[in-house]
Amino acid sequence: MKREETEILIAGLGPVGAALGVYLGRMGIKVIAIERDRDVYPLPRAAHLDHETMRLLHLAGGAEAVAAASQPLSAYEFRNAAGDLLMGFRPSGDLAPTGWPWTSMFHQPTLEHALRARLAELPSVSMRLGHALDAYGVAGDGVVARVEGDEGTYEIAARFIVGCDGGNSLVRRTAGIALDDLGFDEPWLVIDAVLKNGAERLTTVGLQHCDPARPVTSMPMAPGRHRWEFMLLDGERPEDVTSDEAIAAMLAPYADTPALDIERRAVYRFHALVAEKWRQGPVILAGDAAHQMPPFMGQGLCSGTRDAANLAWKIEAVLRGRAEDRLLDSYQAEREPHVRMITGMAVSMGKVVCTRSEEEARRRDEDMLARPEDKRMNGMLALDSIKSGILEGGGTVFPDPGHGATRLDDAAGYAPLLILREACDAARIFRDAGGFVALCVALPDKGGHLAALMGDADAILVRPDRYVFGTGDAAALTAAWAAYLASGVTEARASAA
């Protein structure tokens, strides 16, 4: 049987696998990326990207196309059956400190086409559509996979296999990795509609109808599209709710159904699951293969993109000998608490929405409506920083202060950054530290976000995934970074002062 060799085998080329492939390919890593389906799935699935994810996708070359086919939310509201506001979230301005909108309701096929176009440009990446993973086994410090392709079955030997192959991941199941069930399992009907007559939107507000008679989600998508989700009632089957008549009856209170073309109708179960292991030797999981969450925060694809951004630079550092293999153990240590926090918030929101008991809904409404209405509307949800792999005071998302007339991200790319307050011998510093993009000049920082983050520190070190590693003295920061690459942990959670 024919056998090929590569450094990384990516199984699954949805947005997470494609972004990971772009990050790795742009660093010169040899990648084979396989996907069972030849074409991008033509219908939208994920609907929301936050500003941090747009920034990470920009580093992978996919955000510009997405931005041209997306729209922001003006608010995200939870209202009871009477229409009273239970809680809500509203962005504080047009752009977040990263330079991207706080929310982008987007068209997933547009993103996938853009990322695949970037993959096709990379000489070290072989993208193989219509090729399916059949099986794999661990061999030495790598894996050997059996793949079904255009010309029959062949083998791929790789140092690492990364399973980006979804919730039913063959990579995860073959490794025997169990899932931790966080206790949320509800069936919902998802209806995607295209607006007729050139309409771009029905509303700019995302809405959760917290009605115990039937909880409903109403969400603007990319321009010209809208999504509704209806919770199935006890005893309802998918065939009971997916007929034209059933859909027309459910949509009637919310839209002029003759003005819609129904693009998709499908029943899904909303889960809250986290894999017990995200790395097992040369086997690594990312995206839905590693975790699944209810959609009430719109963070599923966002979390998978963070996985790819966290993982790629660590793989490169290990393969190129700048880091010990155990650095890859930091991937789950850093990402899992973040994912569990977000999933917990999504489950909590889901419980507010999914209350079916009239009495429980009455008590919920009384409790939440006891606060003044202006206290029930908040800024957009702020996600916690990462808690490990950073120095004391690090872990927050680094703002983009600009670079000349463009973004700093455009100038620096997917690489670690060391930004210094004073002019310096950047070449010497980075020859000694290795792998950094040096910035020893004043940056525009029009919003003052960088100045606020640095405070009185002489330098700030930023990881490629755009989390702050730490602030302090440049030499101390680079020494701490070298120790982190060697061990996968920050030995001392002290400021690099």
What are 76-85's pLDDT values in tens digits? Answer: 999 999 999 9
Task: Give the CA count within 13 Å in the CB-facing half-sphere of 469.
Answer: 31
Phi-psi region of 197 (alpha: psi -120 to 50; beta: other; left: phi over 0): left
What architecture is domain 3-70+105-180+273-351? 3-Layer(bba) Sandwich (3.50)
The per-residue pLDDT for 488 is 82
Residue 68 CB neighbour total at 10 angstroms: 13
- Rounded mean pLDDT of the chain? 92
pLDDT range class, residue 381, cuts 50, 70, 90: confident
Q: pTM of the entire structure?
A: 0.94
pLDDT at 393 over 80: yes
d(CA 434, CA 317): 11
Rounded mean pLDDT, 373-394: 87
d(CA 393, CA 20): 28
Taking each helix axis from N to C terminus, what angle separates 474-487 and 426-433, rounded to the nearest 10 degrees? 20
Whether the predicted pLDDT of 493 surpasses 70: no
The residues pairing with 163 across neighbouring beta strands, listed in sequence order, are: 11, 285
Cβ-proximal residues to 465 (8 Å cutoff; 6+ apart), any chain: 56, 306, 309, 310, 313
Separation CA 362–CA 159 (nearest Å): 56
Confidence of residue 426 (pLDDT cuts 50, 70, 90): low
Tens digit of each residue's pLDDT (9 = 90 or more) over 169-217: 999 999 999 999 998 888 999 999 999 999 999 999 999 999 999 999 9
pLDDT digits (tens, 9 = 90+) for 269-322: 898 999 999 999 999 999 999 999 999 999 999 999 999 999 999 999 999 998
- In Å, how far are 156, 157, 175, 282 from 139, measured between CA atoms? 11, 9, 13, 9
Where does the pLDDT of residue 495 fall: very low under 50, low under 70, confident under 90, or very high at 90 and above? Answer: very low
pLDDT at position 485 over 80:
yes
Q: How much of the chain, in percent, has pLDDT values that exceed 70?
A: 95
**Exposure class string for 394-423: b at 16+ Cβ within 10 A, else e:** bbbbbbbbbbeeebbbeebebebbbbbeee
d(CA 495, CA 36): 47
- Phi/psi at 348 (nearest 5 deg)? -60, -45
pLDDT tens for each residue of 434-470: 556 666 666 888 889 999 998 899 889 999 999 999 9
How long is the chain?
Answer: 497
Q: Write down the domain spans for the chain.
A: 3-70+105-180+273-351, 408-487
Mutual angle of helices 108-120 and 15-26, in 10-degree steps: 30
Q: Is the pLDDT of residue 492 over 50?
A: no
Q: CA triplet 464, 286, 462: central angle to 5 degrees?
A: 15
If you average pLDDT over each of 170-179, 418-427, 477-486, which comes out highest?
A: 170-179
pLDDT in tens, 3-57: 999 999 999 999 999 999 999 999 999 999 999 999 998 887 899 999 999 999 9
Predicted confidence band at 431 (pLDDT cuts at 50, 70, 90)?
low
Place of tokens 């608010």: 75
